[in-house]
Amino acid sequence: MVLRIGLPILTLGLTNGFAFLMQLRLVNMLGIITATAFSIGFIIMDIVDAALWGLSGAPAIMIGQNLGAGNRKRSKEVAFKAALLIFALMVISAAIIYPFRRNLVDVFADDPDTIKETDIFLQTMLPTLPFFGLFAVALSVGRGSGHTTFPTV
């Protein structure tokens, strides 16, 4: 039972880690300015990501508890409300960060080329945050229900 539930989660973690290493390899091939911009951009994204993963953990617990109690309707309601809440919070977060993205980048870099590249990175990444939120909720629903294979795939 532990392997049936844990193996897909392990697989997800390993493949994500490997994909990130390959991504870093590609970014580093593009030069120091791009690599620096990528690093700065990901510092900002990781802060938001930490909040996102923290928020998405609660629905897994609530869904698991309700399924254990035989309350499927409540589990669906929790999943739906969590998706709406986290999507909305990520939209608000991205909207707050977007106008100040250059100021945030300025904290980490002085080079105008690096600031420009990081700004382009954040312009591209910030609008995707709400969809990362939905992805996190989907993983949470899968984990809470004990069905970890489908979200991993």
State whether the Cα torsion 130-63-18-39 is positive or negative: positive
**pLDDT at residue number 108:** 87
Confidence of residue 8 (pLDDT cuts 50, 70, 90): confident
**pLDDT at residue number 41:** 86
- Give residue-wise pLDDT tens across range 47-64: 888 888 888 888 999 999
Tell me the CA distances in angstroms from 42 to 38, 45, 48, 102, 127, one per residue in order. Answer: 6, 5, 10, 14, 14
Q: From CA 62, how far away is CA 53, in angstroms rounded?
A: 15
Higher pLDDT, 13 or 2: 13
- Give residue-wise pLDDT tens across range 80-135: 999 999 999 999 999 999 999 999 888 888 899 999 999 998 999 999 999 989 98
**pLDDT at residue number 149:** 76
Mean pLDDT to the nearest integer, 3-29: 85
Hey, what's the torsion of the CAs at 85, 88, 90, 93, to 10 degrees?
-120
Percent of the chain with pLDDT over 90: 35
